[in-house]
Each structure stands twice: as structure tokens, then as C-alpha cells.
Amino acid sequence: MQEAVQLPGVPDVTAEAAADVANAAPAAVAETPALAWTDGAGAAKWMKALPLSGVGQAYAALLGQLRAMTVADIPPRERATIAELAREPVAHLHTELARRYAGKPQPAGEREREAAEQAIALWQALWVQYSSCLKPLLEGDTDLQGVKAKLLQRALYVGKELLIVHGVARRVAPPSLWQELHAYYRLAEMLDCTTVAVSDPLIQNADGLSCYSMYSHALLIALADPYALTVRQIELVDRWLAQWARKLFPYAQQRENEGALIVVDLEGEQGAVLANSAPATPSASMRFGYPAKLATSVRGRLKRLANGTSPADLQLGDDVSQDAAATLLAHLDLHWLQVPRNPQRTKSRAIELAAGGTHAAWFRSSGRSFAHQDPLGRDNENPTKYLQTVGGTTDFDRHREDAERNWPWEKWYGAAEWREAAVKHPGATHYEWFLDQLVVVREDGRLRLGHISRLAAESEGELSLSLRIWAGDPKPYAVRMVNQDRTEDPPTPALLLSGTPEEPSTLIMSPRAFNAGRIMRVDELGSERRFRLVNVVQRGADFERVVFEAVEDD
């Protein structure tokens, strides 16, 4: 292997990347195979013949050859050429592997973990090839001078892809990834090629592509907090940034500015942060980005969407709905342009959580498992009346033990406010957790409902959740949906959340329960009442939150 690049403040990128590949690679490619080609032409022929339809076979073969390249004596320009050839099959296999791990519940299963590790291993193995070109590049290799901007842009692209792998896998990116990304950008600065325009066939419709725009692209993806986004939303942010990333330049010197700025430390172990002002005594390694042009792109489009302009006309794509585009743009506005308030320092304490959809929430709210028919033949459509009139000692709930076993209270630790909570767990959890999942929260004896707004797997398997909590104490009901022929569906669980000055009362119901205008029947204290479903205010992964109105008796 070539000697590692050593620069003040720049990590030993070759050694780190090679170590990452060795650690991530599964046993199937633990032994380095012989190199299958002798030059770029042979590599091109080999890549073209790679059987991409068989993901496992193609993965093992490609990773094996990249590992073989790492220890082979290959001229730097030839290595860069072969790395360029390998990018497309690596990207293709990444897409196929992502079908197995992207957006899956956490803690991830063995199959999902393996697929994510394979995607990381491929990109890391490719990153090593660019790292191996750095020393000859800095020493003035004449063959590399004409392609130095493209070489470093390609390396920054790989780092950006690794951030996306971690984001869709719900894994927090390790400090080493950020150290390498910062190192590549610092090298681009040293070689005076941050603004040199390059082309990249793997990034469609990119505007003003360069080393700085690629670096800003990576910074902004992380700043958007992909752990709070769906896989589809991450894909859209990545696509939009191909057009917008050039609007943010990392300046070495501060500029006069009103409003927020984006600060990044090239010697740090994390990405950029949004701040109201720069540190009083910034270090020489700090860079400053001013998001005013981004604000124009994001807020201008939000305004035009509100006025009825289509996403396609705003260059957001013809495959995204108006509501979805507006929701995502509002999220980006919050994370790119609005400095978060300083959180109140609250001592970490135990907060109990339970999940399992509306049946679990009904059980935890009512104290009884939901059943279509009571075992003694009594009407089970009115849980409030039922609990008031039947003594607990004489009540028999045949499914209670199963419910306790399936939906136990689980202790997490963190801080909770009126409408939000942030909690962590060591990782040995009973549940599978996923974004927009219905969650029952119990703290100090009070029970409330909310949903997961952010999900990330931290180091050593620790899970981190952010929750948005709805106002009001949940009140369980059994409801029957009335059909057009006046027949009724079996009762289903629903939970009433009382209204606030900001929003009306809503019902938490099972997915696909909503049908605009449909009538539902509820028995309350012996009196039958009917309601009409009006609209959905939120669709989660395992629930719907709906607005309803009373129906007057004929």
C-alpha cells in the first residue's frame, strides 16, 4: 500500500479508510483475491461483465477487486480512472442493497445490518482508491494535475453517499467519516480547486458542480437531519441539492451578515451547525456559510406552492405531490434557516413507552385488551361505561396476559416537555421502532399519546428517539363504521384527543380507517351518537389522526 498522506490537521485518510474496509467486509471476501486486470482497459472490460443482477455475487466480486487494488502497485492516474469506472456499479449495488435496509425498523435485524454494512464497505473501498492518489497529487504528479478538481470532487461525492447510507439506515455517521470529508475539502482548498467546474454523469441536472458544491451538498444533507426524514424525503433532498448546493460557499473569513449562518470546523468530528453568530474567537479551521440564497430557493418555492404552482414548475420534480413538497420544504426551512432555541437543561429521568398501534394504545389507555365481544355477552362498544359499571375484581379479561406480554411498558431515559420528548435506550428493546409510529408515553403516572419524529441508532447499539406528543389525555372508545346499506362493521379501537385553541378534537384510528364523509357510531353512557369523518390531519405509519363532526338525528 502506498504511504499515507500526512498533513497538519488532516487525518491519515488512506490508513483510516483501508481499516474501515477491512473491518466492514464480511467473511465472504475476507481474503484479498488476485487482481483481475492489468490496466484500465482490462478493468473496464471486467466492470462491464460484472453480473449486477446477482447482488451477493457482484458485491463479493467488486469489493474483492477494490481490496486487491488497495494493495496493488497501480499508477495514480490509472487508479483514478479505474475508480471512476467502479463508481457506477458501486452506486447500482448500493441501490439494490438499500432495498433491504433503508428505513427499516430499529434495532435492525441481522439481514438489514448486513446489507447496510455491505453498502458502507463498498463506498469505503472506493474511497481508499481516491485516498491513494493524494500523496502523488500533492507531490505534483503531472498526470493528476489536470484532473485534481475532478478527483477531489469524486472523493467528496463518495463521502456524501456514505452520509446517505447512514441516514437511510438510521445510523449516526461516525466521527471518522466527517474527519475524512473535512480532510478532502481542506485538500481542495490547498490545491486551489474548490471552485473549478467539473461534470459528473452520476449527478443529473446538477448546477455549478465543483468541490465546494459537493462539500456543501454533504453538509446540508446532514444539517437537514435525515434521521427525521423518510427514505423518500432523503432522496428528494439529495436530488434538490444537486441544484441548490452551490448556493452555499464555505468562506474562510467571516462576512457581514444578518440572520443565521452555517459554521463548520474542518478539524472537527461532526458536520455543520446553524448559529446566530460565529464564535468570538474562531479558529483558523472554521468555515462560514451564509444561507441567504438557500432561503430564496426554499421560501420562494413554499410561497409559490401555497399559491398553487405545481412542484414540476418549481423544478422540484413531477413525481412529488404539492403537499409532500410543501412539508419537506418546511422541514428544510426549519433546519437550514432557523436557529434552534437553546433547550432547557432537564435532568434525564425515566420515561415509559409502549407501542403496537391502536390496539396497544387502547389497552394502555383503558386498562383492558380490546375485544369485539365481551366474554360474558355484554356490549363492548362503550369502554367508558364498561369500566364504570363493572368492578375490576369481577371482570375477566381473557386477553390481558397476551396484551401485557405483547405491549409491555419499557423504560427509556431522557427529557420530556409538554409537546416533545427526547429519549434513549441501550438497545435491548422489546419493540421494533420506526418513524411516524404511534407511541404511548407514561411519565409520573400521566399517560399521553404521540408519534416518533426522529429515530437514530447511536454508537454501541444505543437507540435515540424524538417524540411529538399530542395535547390532551386519550379517551378510549370502540367505534363501528356504518356502511351505505346501514350495516355496520365490527367495532374497532379509537382514542379521542380533546381539542385545543389551536386545533379541534381528533380521533386516533387504525390505518386506512378514514373515508371522507363516512359515518361511525359510538355508544356513550347508554346513548347512541353518530359522527361523520371529515378529514385526515395526520397519517402515521400505524395510525390515522382524523377530524370528525356530530351528525344530527333524523
More confident of the two residues 489 and 525: 489
Give the three-class secondary structure for 537.
Answer: strand
**CA-based nearest residue to 492, from 311, 321, 370, 309:** 370
Region at 362 (left for phi over 0; alpha for psi -120 to 50; beta for the rest): alpha
Query: Does residue 18 register a pLDDT over 60?
Result: no
Give the chain's length.
554
Question: What is the pLDDT at residue 4?
Answer: 38
- Write out pLDDT tens, residues 38-54: 889 999 999 999 999 89
CA–CA distance, 534 with 515 (Å, rounded to integer): 8
Averaged pLDDT score across all residues of the chain? 88
Give the three-class secondary structure for 297.
Answer: helix
Query: Does residue 189 register a pLDDT over 60?
Result: yes
Residues with Cβ within 8 Å of 446's Cβ and at least 6 positions away in sequence, in order, are 473
Confidence band of 88 (pLDDT split at 50, 70, 90): very high
Question: What is the pLDDT at residue 26?
Answer: 39
CA–CA distance, 352 with 494 (Å, rounded to integer): 21
**CA-based nearest residue to 198, from 233, 142, 252, 154:** 154
Query: Does residue 488 register a pLDDT over 80?
Result: yes
Query: Does residue 276 register a pLDDT over 70?
Result: yes
CA–CA distance, 307 with 126 (Å, rounded to integer): 45
Query: Does residue 197 register a pLDDT over 90?
Result: yes
Query: Does residue 517 register a pLDDT over 50?
Result: yes
Model's pTM, two decimal places?
0.88
Question: What is the pLDDT at residue 256?
Answer: 83
Query: Does residue 25 register a pLDDT over 50?
Result: no
Question: What is the pLDDT at residue 175?
Answer: 96
CA–CA distance, 470 with 228 (Å, rounded to integer): 18
- Mean pLDDT on 22-31: 42
Query: Does residue 393 register a pLDDT over 50?
Result: no
Question: What is the pLDDT at residue 551?
Answer: 87
**Cell numbers standing for residue 12:** 491519515
Question: What is the pLDDT at residue 395?
Answer: 60
Region at 444 (left for phi over 0; alpha for psi -120 to 50; beta for the rest): left
More confident of the two residues 385 and 142: 142
Question: So what's the architecture of 13-222 in CATH?
Answer: Up-down Bundle (1.20)
Query: Does residue 356 register a pLDDT over 90?
Result: yes
Contact 351, 423 (CB under 8 A): yes
Confidence band of 226 (pLDDT split at 50, 70, 90): very high
Confidence band of 460 (pLDDT split at 50, 70, 90): confident
Confidence band of 493 (pLDDT split at 50, 70, 90): very high
Q: What angle do CA 236, 237, 239 make, to 5 degrees?
A: 65
Which H or E element spans position 530? Answer: strand 527-539
What's the alpha-carbon Rg for the chain, to the nearest Å? 27
Question: What is the pLDDT at residue 524?
Answer: 65
Query: Does residue 219 register a pLDDT over 60?
Result: yes
- Mean pLDDT on 486-499: 90
- String of DSSP letters for 363-408: HHHHSS---SS-TTS---S-HHHHHHHS-TTT---TTHHHHHHHS-
Q: Give the helix ranges, DSSP H, for 278-382.
A: 292-306, 322-337, 357-366
More confident of the two residues 187 and 348: 187
- Mean pLDDT on 122-138: 95
Question: What is the pLDDT at residue 93?
Answer: 97
Residues with Cβ within 8 Å of 331's Cβ and at least 6 positions away in sequence, in order, are 224, 228, 229, 233
**CA-based nearest residue to 465, from 513, 516, 425:** 425
CA–CA distance, 220 with 218 (Å, rounded to integer): 6
Q: Residue ranges of the domains in the chain?
A: 13-222
